[in-house]
Structure 1
Amino acid sequence: MLVAEAVGRALVACGVDHVFGVVGSGNFHVTNAMVDAGARFVATRHEAGGATAADGYARTSGRPAAVTLHQGCGFTNALTGITEAAKSRTPLVVVAAEVREPRSNFFVDQEAMARAVGAVPHRVTSAAEAVAQAVAAVAEAVHGRRTVVLNLPLTVQGEEVADDALGSVALPPAPPGVAPSASDVDRLVAALSAAERPVFVVGRGGRSAGARDALRTLGERSGALLATSAVARGLFSTDPWQLDVSGGFSSPLTAELVSDADLIVGWGCALNMWTMRHGRLIGPGTTVVQVDDTPDALGAHRDLAFGVVGDVAVTARAVTDALGAPRTAYRSPAVRDRLARELRWRDVPFEDVSGAGRIDPRTLSIALDDLLPAQRVVAVDSGNFMGYPSMFLQVPDEQGFCFTQAFQSVGLGLATAIGAALARPDRLPVAALGDGGALMGASELETLVRLGLPMLVVVYDDEAYGAEVHHFGPDGHDLSTVRFPPTDLAAVGRGFGMESVTVRSPEDLDAVRAWVASGPTGPMLVQAKVTRDEPAWWLEEAFRGH
């Protein structure tokens, strides 16, 4: 057995069941070895799509995924997707063929590039160590919640591995979650016992069933309201005391209740400028606490009363055990009544500005929310439009929303949706894109059709990079560089073999309704000609922070 085969088989033995990417000469054998060992290979049309689809799969499934890349140019093509995954602490293994000879056309310093974008570089250095090094890469990805670049030099791939090298290969057990100190538990208990209006804001570090259950129990005991960052949306979707998303996406009621809090506890949440609206959601006398198992994360974006080093679920359970009698605190009947009536953005009155052949994105999103099945998984690209599908399309839980925005790159939404769709084949996948992102990622429409995924691709088409239009337009700048002539994206979809429709009014959505009712076996593209005279509310909030 050669190193390439041993590494591929070891990765699958450690739990990697899906591998995405583009195969070339350098990663041909390792990819085939993964397939032979039982993993599903998903060929994408661009390496960036492969990295992002793998990211979306890992986030949604809760299992590690891999992306397989050719040496040099294949690796650099994937760097934006790798960067997004690394910034998001996605458990992803990037299996990258590598040349070490500087005179090769394919030579780049892949190790340095991995470090530069926040990924963790590993390398297979010999036949004797190959299997152990592959296992170590998956272990760091899974248990360390990191994106790992496993460089696989061409000169090593062809070496022979002992026949018994894979005898008992498995992922090592996870280390126990970091327990908080007794003094930190006491401080958090005291803060919760004194608070009259506590709010929990849960981020990526609390996006798990175990953390959700522990925090719901603590919320019931302490009387806290439950909010999330955008990336953890849906975590408390069925809880009557949930506030949905805190930050720029917040509904008016959510912003009001978070701003009135006298204690805000960030659980696995950075409390950054987006989640706290550049600090404007923190009242002048509010106590701010952060719980995270990574010490460097504490206070990185926000001054704290104190920080607690600890795993979210472990800490929440410890604090619950130490609290006294249950308290009502923020959970009054009046607040519960307002949450039932006013929480959702769709329940906030607005002036429908549809007309002249364009549909208000709020009207569009509400109509889609009504006609699509509740069991859905929504993935959103970046741009001015992004708040509408993110907040107007309801999701059943945290696995129903895939939000790759840590790097704020346009063009990742479609590949994200493909990965999420494969992770949850029991749900209708929805890819919400702007026209800019749709055209950037258009090559993956072929992947979508080839896989036969029953995905609804909704393009909010304002014929521009809308964020830039609304950012620079009010100052009178020339916008010709960020506006474009109309493109028939519906025809593009049909060219790839998709059902397609152009939507200018709610009546045009009848075609989507019929597609849903048919029990679709393939994708549909909706080109929605949306109104474009006003920036989205979240973008106005972002501009205020500058």
Structure 2
Amino acid sequence: MERKIYDAVAETLTYLGVKVFFGLIGSGNFHVSNALCEWGAQFIPARHEGGAITMADAWARLTGLVGVCTVHQGPGLTNTMTGLTEAVKSRTPLLLLAADTAGAAVHSNFKIDQEGLVRSVGAIAERVHGPATVVEDTVRAWWRAQVERRPVVLMLPLDVQSAPFEGKVSIPPIAPIYPARPSGEAVTRTLYALEAAQRPLIIAGRGAVISGARDALEALGEQVGALMATSAAANGLFAGNPWYVGISGGFASPAAAELIASADLVLAFGASLNMWTTRHGKLINPGATVVQVDHEPQALGYHHRVDIAVLGDARQTALELLRELLGHDISRQGWRTDEVARKLAEGCWQRAPYEDRSSELQIDPRTLSRALDEMLPEEKVLVTDSGHFMGYPAMYIRVPDAQGFVFTQAYQSVGLGLATAIGAAIARPDRLTVAALGDGGALMGLSELETVARLGLHMLIVIYNDSAYGAEVHHFGPEGAPLDIVRFPDFDFAPLAEAVGIRGVTVRKLEDLEAVGQWLEAEAEGAMLVDAKVVPDVVAEWLEEAFRGH
């Protein structure tokens, strides 16, 4: 058979290492998707394009590789826009193969300005131009996604896709990328700040996770007596470290927030110090020296004042600082004392006191989350959707490392949680994936419940079901606003799960979780869905901060 351009695209991508891709098939992406399969890549079919791209996003975050998704032209692309925007704001390396209308098809129902659309949300638009450049065009799109850590949409016009390709796919060796080192002056200034500090705090963000900076940051913290914290996106990076205070920001426990606010030096490594991490700046002591380390100059000082801006990779900068400290024989206890250790141990969310509001018909979301934390295996991946409930799993359910938490909240969209969990489960089949959803988000992403069953994924889906869009209820209710438009009749998810082949259980009180414990102990294959009827009038601590940011 005559070889086509779509086959050259597929061969190029598999040569570059693409082994898994996600998508939903239409006529426009049928051939390129089949070609990818023929070249050895595994296709994960979703039930909606919005789910497909979110799966690819989560998969890329956990594997560190470029996620790949393929969709039909026109509506296939527009259906991905929320997930694409989330990936843009999360700086996920992602390649979206989007079919496009033929150049002459000016009256096609599918015709829109696809390049303008994807650029409007911050993604990069690339295009396969023809047989002479197809390999170069494909490599360029993949390379930009990897290097710039942004989603790239590679347009595949139908007339170009079906054009003959008589050349040969030949790709030169890909040069390695070396992490950026900080300047000597920046290291020296930071060293002076460390020498003067008595209570240093290290806050690690997504950039620290990507650069693999945990060991270097922990060694630096040990040398200067620092406490360790993370942004929400980096939750779990310092899991197991006795000086880890948890997430900085709205999800911080009262004890952790008090300690963070007492720091006289804040060193942010790969963390943007946005309003969520700093509680709109209130969590950082006005008198503290703030050092921000980032490999992107535009990130420095963008959200919060910075006294020392360090352009460099998080891990490399930590290693440079550690080398200088050791060379000058500088070491101190800082605030690594028995008193602080006691405060951290007693003040964590798992031990913080609260009034249990559970009843015979509804369970307190804090009680639910604590119980899950106790029964879930250590090796897990926790995924949270957006909504009023989302702080409870993030605060109360511990994760083993940064690979154990996926937080698709950069765009604050409700409804991405289930698809995120599917991508995570495919990326880390060695761990139990726990999807924490609200009832509203679960219903938004409901089409992918069948995908969980069809793929036989090992997953626990926990729905914090308050029969409402709880954030709006708790924010606008105190103003005396009518709430009928954000409240709904109780909906039972368990029978729905059973209908697609997933075990379902309804939880109204603590004893009902015994079914979950038995399922975990049996190490049963497949998934379980927990419809947890939570007390609707327990208000999350972080909610006021969230609405201040709107």
1:454 is aligned to 458
| TM-superposition CA deviations, 1:21-61 (whole Å, max 9, x none) | 10111111111121122221100000000010111111112
SS in 1 for 2:132: coil
Matching residue within 331, 334, 340 for 1:329: 334
Partner amino acid for 1:50? A
Q: Are 2:360 and 2:509, in contact at CA under 8 Å, matched by a contact in 1?
A: no
**In 1: Cα distance, 2:39 partner to 2:406 partner:** 28
TM-score computed with the length of structure 2 as normaliser = 0.96
My pick for the range that moved more, 71-80 or 173-182, is: 173-182
| TM-superposition CA deviations, 1:453-505 (whole Å, max 9, x none) | 12111000000000000110000001111000111111111111111011000
Alignment of 1:452-491 (within 5 A): 452-491=456-495
- Detail structure 1 runs of 4+ shifted over 4 Å in the superposition: 543-546
| TM-superposition CA deviations, 1:336-364 (whole Å, max 9, x none) | 2322332x311101110001400000111
1:253 is aligned to 255
Alignment of 1:135-154 (within 5 A): 135-154=139-158
Q: State the Cα distance separating 1:399 from its structure 2 match.
A: 0.6
1:511 is aligned to 515
**In 2: Cα distance, 1:209 partner to 1:150 partner:** 27
**In 1: Cα distance, 2:296 partner to 2:486 partner:** 40
2:4 is aligned to 2
**In 2: Cα distance, 1:119 partner to 1:404 partner:** 17
Q: Are 2:469 and 2:486, in contact at CA under 8 Å, matched by a contact in 1?
A: yes
**In 2: Cα distance, 1:425 partner to 1:482 partner:** 37
Q: State the Cα distance separating 1:542 from its structure 2 match.
A: 3.0
| TM-superposition CA deviations, 1:121-148 (whole Å, max 9, x none) | 1111111111121111111111221111
1:320 and 2:325 correspond: no
| TM-superposition CA deviations, 1:285-327 (whole Å, max 9, x none) | 1111211111111111111112111111111111111123222
Matching residue within 205, 209, 215 for 1:203: 205
**In 1: Cα distance, 2:43 partner to 2:236 partner:** 29
Q: Are 2:495 and 2:504, in contact at CA under 8 Å, matched by a contact in 1?
A: yes
SS in 1 for 2:484: coil
**In 2: Cα distance, 1:253 partner to 1:174 partner:** 44
Q: Are 1:374 and 1:395, in contact at CA under 8 Å, matched by a contact in 2?
A: yes
**In 1: Cα distance, 2:52 partner to 2:404 partner:** 21
| TM-superposition CA deviations, 1:261-299 (whole Å, max 9, x none) | 011111111101100001110112111121111111111
**In 2: Cα distance, 1:500 partner to 1:64 partner:** 34
My pick for the range that moved more, 419-428 or 33-42, is: 33-42
SS in 1 for 2:292: strand
Matching residue within 440, 445, 448 for 2:444: 440
Number of residue pairs matched?
543
**In 2: Cα distance, 1:306 partner to 1:468 partner:** 39
SS in 1 for 2:344: helix
SS in 2 for 1:537: coil
Q: 1:483 to 1:142 in 2, by over 3 A?
A: same
1:155 is aligned to 159
**In 2: Cα distance, 1:486 partner to 1:55 partner:** 32
| TM-superposition CA deviations, 1:200-222 (whole Å, max 9, x none) | 11111111463112211211222
Matching residue within 328, 343, 347 for 1:338: 343
Matching residue within 269, 272, 280 for 1:278: 280
Q: 1:431 to 1:169 in 2, by over 3 A?
A: farther
Q: Are 1:268 and 1:312, in contact at CA under 8 Å, matched by a contact in 2?
A: yes
2:18 is aligned to 16
SS in 1 for 2:280: helix
1:539 is aligned to 543
My pick for the range that moved more, 316-325 or 381-390, is: 316-325
**In 1: Cα distance, 2:438 partner to 2:431 partner:** 23
2:181 is aligned to 179
Mind listing any 5+ residue stretches in structure 2 that lack a counterpart?
Answer: none
My pick for the range that moved more, 254-263 or 282-291, is: 282-291
1:411 is aligned to 415
Partner amino acid for 1:330? W
Partner amino acid for 2:358? S
Q: Are 1:376 and 1:429, in contact at CA under 8 Å, matched by a contact in 2?
A: yes
| TM-superposition CA deviations, 1:158-209 (whole Å, max 9, x none) | 12223422x4466x23321112111111111111111111111111111146
Q: Are 1:259 and 1:281, in contact at CA under 8 Å, matched by a contact in 2?
A: yes
| TM-superposition CA deviations, 1:59-92 (whole Å, max 9, x none) | 1121211010100100000110011001100011
**In 2: Cα distance, 1:543 partner to 1:80 partner:** 20
1:426 is aligned to 430
TM-score computed with the length of structure 1 as normaliser = 0.97
| CA RMSD after TM alignment | 1.4
1:307 is aligned to 309
Q: Are 2:125 and 2:155, in contact at CA under 8 Å, matched by a contact in 1?
A: yes
My pick for the range that moved more, 282-291 or 454-463, is: 282-291
Q: State the Cα distance separating 1:98 from its structure 2 match.
A: 0.9
**In 1: Cα distance, 2:360 partner to 2:514 partner:** 20
